[in-house]
Structure 1
Amino acid sequence: MGMSAEQEEDSRSPRDEEWPEAEKAEKLARGAALKWASGVFYRPDKLEGLGHYRSREAQRNSSIQSRLKSTVQSHLEGVSAGLEQLRSAAGDVRSVRQDLCAVRWHLLGSAEGFLRLAPLRAVVTEHAQLAAVVRALPQLSSVHELLAQSLRLLHGQQLLEAHAGLMALERLREEITSQLHSSGSLPSDQALGVVESFFAGLQELSDALAQQLWHIVGGGVRLVREDPALFVSAVRIIEREESVDDALLLGPHANRFPAPGRPKAWRQRFYQVMQETIAAAHFKAAHVDVKGPGLGRHLATLQSNILVELRVVKDLMVPCCPPHYNILSICTHMYHQGLSDYLQDILSRDLDKQEIFMLLSWVLHVYQSPEMMGHPDLLPEVDVSTLGPLVSPEVVEQMERKYVGKVKASVTEWMRRTLEVELKEWFREEEPEMDHLGFFQSALPIIVMQMLDENIRVASLVTDSLQQKVYAMAMDELEAFLISLREALGECGKEHQKDRSMPKHYISYLLALLNNNMALSSSISTLHPGSASLAKPAEIPSSLQTALDRAQKKACRLLLEELLLDLQPLYVQLPSRKWLSGAQLVNSMCEVIDKYMRDFSHVRNPVFKFLLAESEHLVMNHYMRALMEKKMVCRSAEERIQLSTRLLQDASQLRELFHNLGLAESEQTLEVIFALQELIRLQDPALLSLEVLGFMKKYPDISDEHISILLDLRGDVSKEVRNVVLEMMAQNPQSLPENYQPIFSNILVPAPELPFCLRKGKCA
């Protein structure tokens, strides 16, 4: 019943060596079965269903074996049928090979017979050619007559009939040439030469017809209005020729042999003639006047003519042409490209600013407007936006820069002349004009602003970018103008110092200039593009604001120099014993100051406030400088009281004057004179260190030299007290508070001759 393990191994080994996959599959199946059985029969009570499981698995194995046997049987039957077919095919191949060998031997035996048929073949060929000539003789005899008739029809502008004759002759020539090529051997050059010479007049007829066609096409815009039938005939002939070209190049016999004069490509030539005609009519005309106003008239003529011709093309030429000609679109492109090239040529010339403006405005606005390419009569068929820009953005940018350069040169020259006229006005015998509020002024701000505004506004009619460029240029030119004005003020001030009587109304014109400067400053923001839509005025460029401020400071400096020149004779008397004895000196100072302030009242705020404050500081500064330069020494306590009282009365009178003029006491610097008189009035020199310490805290820019001079002014300070005061100053250095207005730092001791400087800025 059973086999030993060795026998089983022996019986299995050949199969295992032949089918190793079967052994692997069997092991996997056994392992899976053991795993399943261990899972099902892990308890003794489960063994009761062993018989049920055994019968079920037996049925399943029987089913699987049946399916396997069926599959193997079907596969074996298919293999058997295939082998049978292969045996049959092999037999057929052997039979065919035998037949081919027999045919080959028969052909080799008949080769000599074929060679003896060569003369017969030549005779047949010659017979075929002669038969073709005989059949064509009636037509050949009428070739010259048909040529002459076609020429007559052509001269009578019977184009369709003439073209019918031309096509008949070309067909005849093609038939004869085709017969020569189909005779079995290539035709000789002599035979082809005979045919070409016989039909030599055919090319002349074709050229004459073509010349007539291109003349008609060139005048197509005129003909479709006057005689559209002639233009339609030309188009029909061109279409027939295109059909013949297509048949010869793309038909079943394409490239069989070359047809003389083909392809004619008359449709392509049709478009070329249209383009050449458009270019010659509008863009290659005789030298026209394209300078100045002539350029405007020329552009207007182009606009009118192109619009009229495109209307004719759309309304009259389109119905005369086949739809695939797309004649309106192509003509639009031709006009667009021709105009683009023409304008590029004009823009490359040396144009003035007006010509550049006209061209840019025409290109960017007129061309696509409803007055030209966007005309309602052309819409919607004509869409010029699909053709690209008439002039490239790079060329537009280049022309904008060139335009700005031209405008800049004009503005520079115009401002130079304006400044010359303004400066000449200064030497008039009359004062400058006043406005209704009594402020001096001139027409300079209005003239300058109007000129700049006009150029910016004109540029806005072209593009926003051009407007921005002109605006930037205007700001630069206005800054340069203010710099030139400031330099001219300096020269005028030097000349005035030599002869103060010239100009006669020097101060009035300086005040007018200040008012003009403020008017310019308040008006500059209106030049900014889009200023009307801004919520707040546009900011003035920083460099321009600097130029405005420096021009203002220059004029203020010259005015304060005038005040100082009239006060200087009074300052030379200070301090002196005569000055101590009465108030005549300060009264004279007040009179001079009041006179100048009445003059300064003709300038608007805030400049008047600035001049008032600077005048007060100037009076104080030179008052203090005069006290320190003379080094006056009080000889007694009574004289110190007298000096203190004089200082108090002078300071009070000056303070009252400036207060009445509109300068609040808190804004004045004359308080230093009040502090000084307290330092002089002090009776006990031993208390000077405390008094000086308080003085230093009020005026931290005072130096040891200043204090030494003030102590000398008392006349009763010993060397020991002086040393104590100076030691106290060294031990209590002071730092300048923020926004402190320097007083003593502007008074150098010993005091050299200094250039005049405004208090709140550098030397102007």
Structure 2
Amino acid sequence: MGLSAEDERAASPGDEEWPEAEKAEKLARGAALKWASGVFYRPEKLERLGQYRSREMQRNSSIQSRLKSTVQSYLEGVSAGLEQLRSAAQEVQSMCQDLGAARWALLDTADHFHGLQQMRALMAEHVQLASVVQVLPQLFSVQEVFSHTLQLLHGQQLLEAHAELMMMEHLRDDILSQLHLHGLSNAQATVLSYFSGLQELNETLAKQLWDIVGSSLRLVHEDPVLFVTAVRVIEREEKIDDTLLLEATFLPPGRPKGWRQKFYHVLQETITGAHFQAPRMDSEGPGLARHLAALQKGIVSELRVVKDLMVQCVPAHYNILSVCTATFHQALSSHLQDILREDLDKQALFLLLEWALRVYHSPEMMGHPDLLPEVDVSALGPLMPPELTDQTERKYVVKVKASVLEWMQRTLEVEFKEWFREEEPETDHQGFFQSALPVIVMQMLKENIQVASLITESLQQKVYNMALEELEAFLGRLREALVQCGKEHQNDRSIPKYYMSYLLATLNNNLALSSSVSSLHPNTACREVPSSLRAAFDRTQKKACQLLLEELLLDLQPLCLQLHSRKWLSGSQLISSMCEVIDKYAKDFSRVRRPIFMLLLMETELVVASQYLRALMQKKVVCKSEEERSQLCARLLLDATQLRELFCGLGLDQSQQSLEAVFALQELICLKDPALLSLEVLGFITKYPDVSDEHISTLLDIRGDVSKEVRHMVLDMMAQHPQVMPESYRPIFSTILVPMPELPFCLRKGKCA
């Protein structure tokens, strides 16, 4: 019996070499068993076993054929590669033999090279000696050439002198280059000592060149040939510098000279020194205007010379006009900054701002028709940097502010001196009191804003903001002066004689100032008035109105003290007298413009109503009977009606009057059934939400017939219905203080009876 397949695999020596093959075979057999178990799990499937066997044998045969073909192709490729490697090894061996032969041949000829090296050294020495023999005549004539060149320089024959100078420098530099090439650095000092006169010649030539460049603006008029000659010398030196720098093998002493840059530097120093070394006195006061005018004239004149004459005397790549323009621009910028470091006055700061921001770019200077279009300073940036411009504008605003403050203070002093004159204030064509204060103040502010608008919009806005701030501060000082004048008037009501008239004039002035503020700025989009300034106008108006109403109260006080007394109840002419006083003041108030007149009328009516209610709350009259209550109600109704008709006749509508509270109180007192007081009081507090428990309690006391139970019921009802004052409501009861009840007299400590 033969070995099983497993035994054959175990005995096969290839298993050790190909463990992956064993693993693959196991996987294949496992997959086959899995497939067979899936196909032949039923007995009837076994009938097709022969078909499956035949198909699988064909598949295996096909796979074996492809494998044999692949292996055969692989073996043929390996054979071709081995043949190529064998051929390459033969070629390498042949090349190694050739290289060995060449090496032996070179070793045989090495001795001949030593002889050639000696010949090369002799040839180099011969060349050097030949060079020395050629330059010996030039070397012997060096001192003579130096003297001749110096004479040429003294005669201002610059081109001839420079040609000899270049020849001597070329001779020296050639010798130094040879020494440097052969490493003979020790001999260079001797050569430099022999040619030491070149340094003096260079310095003499340079001094003449820079003197010519320094006078270039004059020479292009008088002797342009001399200036052109200097420029040609400079250009020669620039070409020599460029050549030596390109070779970069040996740089002779003193190179590069950089005379073109020195040309620019001297020209810039000449421009700067000629115009911008002004004495300090020219930086302040009226001298600054003359100094700036001289700068303007001189710069335009010299730029014309550069544009028309100097440009033709120098190469185009010098860009001489642009260089001079930039030099003037930068020097001017630095010069203005130096001037601004001084403590300048308002006029000087304005001149500098106007000159730098407007005149400089105008057709009067850099935009002059004779300079356009070649001169263009737009690419050079602003003459004054933005931060310096802003700083200067702020300094100017500070100076203007000090001037405005002083002027306003003087105006205010003059205004209040006029209060103590023996004359009424002046009136306008409509008969309204006024003074010159609004015109003076607004004209001063408007002029400063208009002057600032000539410079920049930013300066105009800064001055405008400052003007509004100063106007607000001025209104504060005006209120302080009103208060001080009011105190003096209280001490002696005859001083000033026309106190009320000037208060009325102040109200008209305040209204005129308030109306004119929006016209200060010429640009309608920038006329925003700060809320603080509007509040300042309101406070000034309120203060003047308050002083006027205090005058009214002083005249009404003796009459108000007699109100709601037994004498008043029995019948008197108090209200008629009060109406006469009110009518007199209303006629005075008519000397102010309509909006303020109506305000004064409303405030007067509120004051009268408050005083009337305050007198009522004093409880001078407490009804002891129904007859007295009727009498009191009739008196209240009569007084309120008379006062209401007075104010209606003066132009105050009934709906705007606070006296309606008197009518409402009268109805509360006249109510016959005390049990209905809760309902009546509820309606009253709804209409007058600032009324307090003390006010209602006092009214109940005045009635004289309200029991404790009804009182408690009314007060409880008020507690249960707290009121909130609307924004449009004008308080009246909150200004009236109810007197505290007097405590009963007690003989000893303990509960009072």
TM band (smaller chain): 0.7 to 0.9
The amino acid that maps onto 1:140 is: L
The amino acid that maps onto 2:312 is: P
Q: Distance in 1 between the 2:206 and 2:305 partners? A: 24
Q: Is the 8 A contact 1:583 1:650 kept in 2?
A: no
SS of match in other structure, 2:309: helix
1:514 aligns with 2:503: no
Q: How far off is 1:181 after superposition?
A: 5.7
Q: Is the 8 A contact 2:697 2:711 kept in 1?
A: no
Instruction: Please list the CA deviations of residues 684-717 of structure 1 after superposition, one character each: whole Å capped at 9, or x if unmatched.
Output: 76776666566555545444443444444455x2
Change (3 A) 1:421 1:18: farther
* 2:134 equivalent in structure 1: 135
Q: Is the 8 A contact 1:459 1:466 kept in 2?
A: yes
Q: How far off is 1:265 after superposition?
A: 1.4
1:340 aligns with 2:328: no
Q: Distance in 2 between the 1:548 and 1:597 partners? A: 23
* 1:551 equivalent in structure 2: 540
Q: Distance in 1 between the 2:504 and 2:455 partners? A: 40
Instruction: Please list the CA deviations of residues 276-302 of structure 1 after superposition, one character each: whole Å capped at 9, or x if unmatched.
Output: 111211223554511022222212211
* 2:186 equivalent in structure 1: 189
Q: Is the 8 A contact 2:700 2:706 kept in 1?
A: no
1:236 aligns with 2:232: yes
Pairing partner for 1:719 from 707, 732, 739 = 707
Q: Distance in 2 between the 1:724 and 1:554 partners? A: 43
* 2:447 equivalent in structure 1: 454
* 2:414 equivalent in structure 1: 421
SS of match in other structure, 1:606: helix
Between 170-179 and 653-662, the greater mean CA deviation after superposition: 170-179
Change (3 A) 1:598 1:127: same
Q: Distance in 1 between the 2:673 and 2:132 partners? A: 155
Pairing partner for 1:573 from 562, 573, 577 = 562
The amino acid that maps onto 2:606 is: H
What does 1:388-403 align with in structure 2 at a 5 Å threshold? 388-403=381-396
SS of match in other structure, 1:289: helix
What does 1:129-528 align with in structure 2 at a 5 Å threshold? 131-178=130-177, 185-187=182-184, 189-190=186-187, 192-251=188-247, 254-255=248-249, 257-287=250-280, 289-528=282-521
Q: Is the 8 A contact 2:668 2:680 kept in 1?
A: yes
Change (3 A) 1:730 1:274: closer
Between 614-623 and 364-373, the greater mean CA deviation after superposition: 364-373
* 1:42 equivalent in structure 2: none
Q: How far off is 1:477 after superposition?
A: 1.9
Q: How far off is 1:666 after superposition?
A: 2.4
The amino acid that maps onto 2:593 is: R
Pairing partner for 2:613 from 621, 624, 628 = 624
* 2:49 equivalent in structure 1: none
Q: CA RMSD in A?
A: 3.6
Instruction: Please list the CA deviations of residues 316-348 of structure 1 after superposition, one character each: whole Å capped at 9, or x if unmatched.
Output: 111111111111112212222222222222223
1:17 aligns with 2:13: no
Instruction: Please list the CA deviations of residues 71-109 of structure 1 after superposition, one character each: whole Å capped at 9, or x if unmatched.
Output: xxxx99xx99x9999989986785465244323333247
Q: Distance in 2 between the 1:164 and 1:401 partners? A: 61
* 1:648 equivalent in structure 2: 637
Q: Distance in 1 between the 2:129 and 2:412 partners? A: 104
Unaligned runs of 5+ in 1: 24-74, 753-764
Q: How far off is 1:649 after superposition?
A: 3.0
Q: How far off is 1:350 after superposition?
A: 2.8
Q: Distance in 1 between the 2:75 and 2:127 partners? A: 79
Q: How far off is 1:732 after superposition?
A: 7.7
SS of match in other structure, 2:429: coil
The amino acid that maps onto 1:142 is: S
Q: Distance in 2 between the 1:433 and 1:8 partners? A: 133
* 2:108 equivalent in structure 1: 105
Change (3 A) 1:641 1:21: farther
1:746 aligns with 2:735: yes
Identity %: 62
SS of match in other structure, 1:629: coil
Q: Distance in 1 between the 2:669 and 2:62 partners? A: 143
SS of match in other structure, 2:362: coil
Q: How far off is 1:619 after superposition?
A: 1.2
Q: Distance in 2 between the 1:301 and 1:378 partners? A: 18
The amino acid that maps onto 2:71 is: E
Instruction: Please list the CA deviations of residues 31-66 of structure 1 after superposition, one character each: whole Å capped at 9, or x if unmatched.
Output: xxxxxxxxxxxxxxxxxxxxxxxxxxxxxxxxxxxx
Q: Distance in 1 between the 2:390 and 2:86 partners? A: 86
Q: Is the 8 A contact 1:415 1:448 kept in 2?
A: yes
SS of match in other structure, 1:504: coil
Q: Distance in 2 between the 1:471 and 1:300 partners? A: 29
The amino acid that maps onto 1:102 is: A
Change (3 A) 1:22 1:457: farther
* 1:69 equivalent in structure 2: none
Pairing partner for 1:586 from 575, 597, 600 = 575
So what's the TM-score if we normalise by structure 2?
A: 0.81
What does 1:591-602 align with in structure 2 at a 5 Å threshold? 591-602=580-591
Q: Distance in 1 between the 2:73 and 2:718 partners? A: 118
Change (3 A) 1:463 1:89: farther
Q: Distance in 2 between the 1:411 and 1:198 partners? A: 78
Q: How far off is 1:307 after superposition?
A: 1.4
* 1:661 equivalent in structure 2: 650
The amino acid that maps onto 1:603 is: V
Q: How far off is 1:215 after superposition?
A: 0.4
Change (3 A) 1:742 1:539: same
Q: Is the 8 A contact 2:640 2:662 kept in 1?
A: yes
The amino acid that maps onto 2:458 is: S
Q: Is the 8 A contact 2:425 2:434 kept in 1?
A: yes
What does 1:80-119 align with in structure 2 at a 5 Å threshold? 94-95=97-98, 98-108=101-111, 111=114
Change (3 A) 1:272 1:731: closer
Change (3 A) 1:686 1:379: closer
Change (3 A) 1:403 1:90: farther
SS of match in other structure, 1:279: helix
Q: Distance in 1 between the 2:672 and 2:179 partners? A: 147
Change (3 A) 1:166 1:679: closer
The amino acid that maps onto 1:415 is: M
* 1:64 equivalent in structure 2: none
Q: Distance in 2 between the 1:22 and 1:98 partners? A: 39
The amino acid that maps onto 1:419 is: L
SS of match in other structure, 1:446: helix
> How many aligned residue pairs are there?
681
The amino acid that maps onto 2:347 is: Q
Q: Distance in 1 between the 2:722 and 2:66 partners? A: 119
Change (3 A) 1:666 1:751: farther
Q: Distance in 1 between the 2:442 and 2:60 partners? A: 124
Q: Is the 8 A contact 2:681 2:714 kept in 1?
A: no
SS of match in other structure, 1:439: coil
Change (3 A) 1:86 1:518: farther
* 2:24 equivalent in structure 1: none
Unaligned runs of 5+ in 2: 1-57, 742-753
The amino acid that maps onto 2:159 is: L
